[in-house]
Structure 1
Amino acid sequence: TALAAAAGGAVAGAQPGSLVLAGGAVARAVLTRLEAPELALTGRAIADGVPESVVASGPARGTRVVTKAGGFGDERTILNCLDAL
């Protein structure tokens, strides 16, 4: 989608140390723009079904990533993700 592509471009230019990505299309677009072909789970979950990972290879290696399905969680889930990072 256009939003996912815009998010990917913005993040690639910023080179952040950590990311919260909500929605599969957004996560895929951002990780593609970061040239991050794979994530490695850290074993930590921010909430049920909301894992923390790190970029395992590529230029963004070591970047912490929390992924959340777009329709998953309640009104506090995104805030909890941000607080955790």
Structure 2
Amino acid sequence: MYGACDLLGYDPMFLANERKAIIIVANEDKEKVLEALHQHPEGQDAVCIGKVSDTSKGQLLLETPLGVKRALHRLSGIMLPRIC
């Protein structure tokens, strides 16, 4: 996804992405939640994609596939329209 977005000049974090969810749970509950999601046909591909740490000092940091960390800010402007 990042490669295509880079070529087109889009940030994939701000594209419409229906039927996706980010669930934040305590670390000790992570495996139980993933197991429950995997039981459902729509959750078979569920994976852990991040973690909350004390080092971010109130910022939301995104680590890219290349290992670069950048701040993730709220969308400023309008989202791309849905085509359906």
Same fold (TM over 0.5): no
Q: Provide TM-score, normalisation by structure 1.
A: 0.23
Q: Provide TM-score, normalisation by structure 2.
A: 0.23
Higher percent of residues as strand: 1
Select the structure with the greater relative contact order (CA < 8 A; seq sep ≥ 6): 1
Q: Which has the larger radius of gyration?
A: 2
